[in-house]
C-alpha cells in the first residue's frame, strides 16, 4: 500500500487524494496509517442482518466524527478524522457500500 500511496501522492502533487472503494480497500490504507480522514456516504438500503462497513475493526487509531450531512433524500455523508501521531499526506476514502 505504501508504494501505491507514494505513486498517488506523486501524481496528486499538493492536492488531496480521494479514492472510492469498499471497506477492504479503505481498511488496507487505514492499516498502513495512510488515511487522514474517512468520508462515509450512506444510502437508504436494507441489508437484512447488516453488512459491516470494514471487514475488520478499524478503531485504532481512534476515528472522530467531524461532520454529518444529508446530500439528498436517502443519502448521508459522515466524515471521520483519523487521530494519529504524525501525518504523511492526506488520503481519503469514500465507501459507497457493496
Which CATH number belongs to the domain containing residue 82 in this structure?
Answer: 3.40.430.10
Residue 50, pLDDT score:
62
Residue 46, pLDDT score:
47
Q: What is the residue range of 61's domain? A: 2-95
Is 81 a residue whose pLDDT tops 50?
A: yes
Instruction: Give the burial string for 44-76 (b: 16+ CB within 10 Å, else e).
Output: eeeeeeeeebbeeebeeeebeeeeeeeeeeeee
Is 64 a residue whose pLDDT tops 60?
A: yes
- Total domain count, the chain: 1
Residue 11, pLDDT score:
95
Is 98 a residue whose pLDDT tops 50?
A: no
Residue 18 grid cell: 480521494
Per the DSSP assignment, residues forming a β-bridge with 65 are 80
Residue 56, pLDDT score:
67
Amino acid at each position: 500500500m505504501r508504494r501505491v500511496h507514494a505513486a498517488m501522492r506523486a501524481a496528486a502533487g499538493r492536492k488531496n487524494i480521494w479514492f472510492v472503494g469498499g471497506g477492504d480497500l479503505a481498511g488496507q490504507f487505514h492499516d498502513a496509517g495512510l488515511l487522514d480522514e474517512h468520508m462515509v456516504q450512506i444510502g437508504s438500503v436494507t441489508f437484512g442482518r447488516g453488512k459491516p462497513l470494514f471487514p475488520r475493526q478499524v478503531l485504532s487509531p481512534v476515528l472522530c466524527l467531524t461532520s454529518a450531512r444529508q446530500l439528498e433524500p436517502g443519502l448521508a455523508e459522515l466524515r471521520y478524522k483519523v487521530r494519529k501521531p504524525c501525518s504523511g499526506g492526506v488520503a481519503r476514502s469514500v465507501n459507497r457500500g457493496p
